[in-house]
Amino acid sequence: MRYFRDVATLARKDLLLELRARDTVPAMLLFVVAALVVFHFALPADSSDLAAYGLLWVALVFTALLGLVRSFSAERDQGLLDGLVLAPCDRSAIWLAKALAMLAFLVLAEIVALPAFAIFFTGIGWKTVAGVALANLGICAVGTLLAAMAAASRARELLLPLLFLPLAIPIVVGGVGAGVVEDGGRYLGLLAVYDAIFAIICWASFEYVVTE
Amino acid sequence: MLAATLVCTSIALIFFWVPEDADQGFSQKIFYFHVPIAITAYACFGWGALKAFVHLWKRSPEADVQSYVAIHLGVIFGALTLITGSIWARASWGVWWTWSSQQLVLFLVLFLFYSAYFMLRFSVDPGPARANVSAVYALFGVVLIPISFLAIRLANDFIHPVVFTSAGPQMAGSMFFTFCVALAAMLALASALYRLELAGKRLDATLKRLREALE
């Protein structure tokens, strides 16, 4: 019970910071719309809707990356992470709170991105929406942990995409498959398995990333 | 020593003893390099992850170095797998790269993943923090292997709507024997390199300690 109170407090801190500074979500919104416009011009006129589905996932993954790169910047600049690690709460609560805040940002970006995609390109079915919802969980779980890793390194912003993209390949396969294949259930299953496995690993290993 | 003998024996067997494949002829011989190298790379990644786990559990710096060396070798063998696989694809299918070969695609993903491991490791200052971060990332790798394999197999449905049926290990006894010798040779080679590099790392550490003691 205490654990969830800690998580809620930490997540509220991130959301409040975003509400006051507004430096992540607007950037993600602008980026995803701009990316969709670029993709319109990148696709030849007679290309199929299936190609557009693929590009939607490229846009979503990179939008998430944009948010994740910033996710630990406040902690790093102010030396806040040391304070959080010393706080009398379970370390995994820091990860869970950060991932939840990230999830909120990503969902906000997608609330704009998916209708924009439907207007610009082609309509989307419930299976794509379900795929996006499941993929969000995996992206936030894995991405937050990797962002914490990257924040500890010298390369920082440069490093996160390199760490994240190979791990995002199963997410893209699952998401695109759920949208374009007739019987998309198996792909949603893949996403669910991915989420479950990586959420457990991230939850268990976050402590090692922030402590020595 | 054992590694050198086994490698020489396997090369001799591959080129002079084992009969040529009826279907593919001479180019099939690369199979005896490609597959053992791939299996060795998996073994290295697995060993690296195991040592990473030991490090997180027992916090021993030795396990961290072992994990790093194993993954380093795994990446080298993984790159060799990509190269030999590509040559084989050129010889038997006429293309340098094919996305329908699941093993090849999986190795590309793993190669990218473990290359990022080095980027991560070299951009964090040496110390327990680096060891922890590397170990967690190495553990991610062994989880990524089965999930990626599953994903790539599923992805073939919409990228290549052709159903592949694998026929299982159907080969003549002499071929299978050669394959086993080649596999043993590659594993022995990897373990010899592993010990060599580890000895080098230990020597470096000792030298550094001595130098600090002198100052």
Residue range B40-69, pLDDT digits in tens:
898 999 999 998 999 888 888 888 888 999
Q: Report chain B residues whose CB lies below 8 A from the CB of A198.
A: 140, 143
> Residue range B18-23: average pLDDT?
62
Which residues numbered 5-44 in B keep a CB inside 8 Å of some CB on A? none
Q: Return the closest-CA partner of residue B127 out of B61, B215, B70.
A: B61
Please report the pLDDT score of residue A141 as a whole number.
93
pLDDT at A90: 87
* Burial status of residue A198 (CB atoms within 10 A of its CB: 0-12, 13-18, 19 or more): buried
In angstroms, rounded to a whole number, what is the distance separating the alpha carbons of residues B193 and B50? Answer: 18
pLDDT at site B23: 60
Give the pLDDT of residue B163.
39
pLDDT for position B171? 61
What average pLDDT does the segment B14-29 reach?
A: 65
Q: Which pTM does this prediction carry?
A: 0.84
Per-residue buried b or exposed e for A52-78, using 16+ beta carbons within 10 Å of the residue's own CB? bbbbbbebbbbbbbbbbbbbbebbeee
Across the interface, of A154, A165, A208, the residue whose CB is closest to B135 is A208
Confidence (pLDDT) at A59: 92
Between CA A21 and CA A105 the distance in angstroms is 14
CB-CB neighbors (< 8 A) of B133 in chain A: 149, 152-153, 208-209
B157-180: per-residue pLDDT in tens?
A: 665 444 344 444 556 667 777 778
Quick one: what percent of chain B has pLDDT higher than 90? 11
What is the structure's pLDDT at B205?
86
B136 touches chain A (CB under 8 A): yes
For chain A, residues with pLDDT lower than 70 are: none
Instruction: Name the minimum distance, in Å, from the CA of A88 to any CA of chain B.
Output: 21
Give the closest-approach CA distance of B154 to chain A in angstroms: 8
* Tens-digit pLDDT profile for residues B177-205: 777 877 888 888 888 888 888 888 889 88
Q: What is the pLDDT of residues B97-152, one digit of tens each?
A: 777 777 788 888 889 999 999 988 888 888 888 888 889 999 998 888 888 888 88
Q: Where are the domains of chain A?
A: 2-210
Q: Tell me what pLDDT residue B70 has.
A: 92
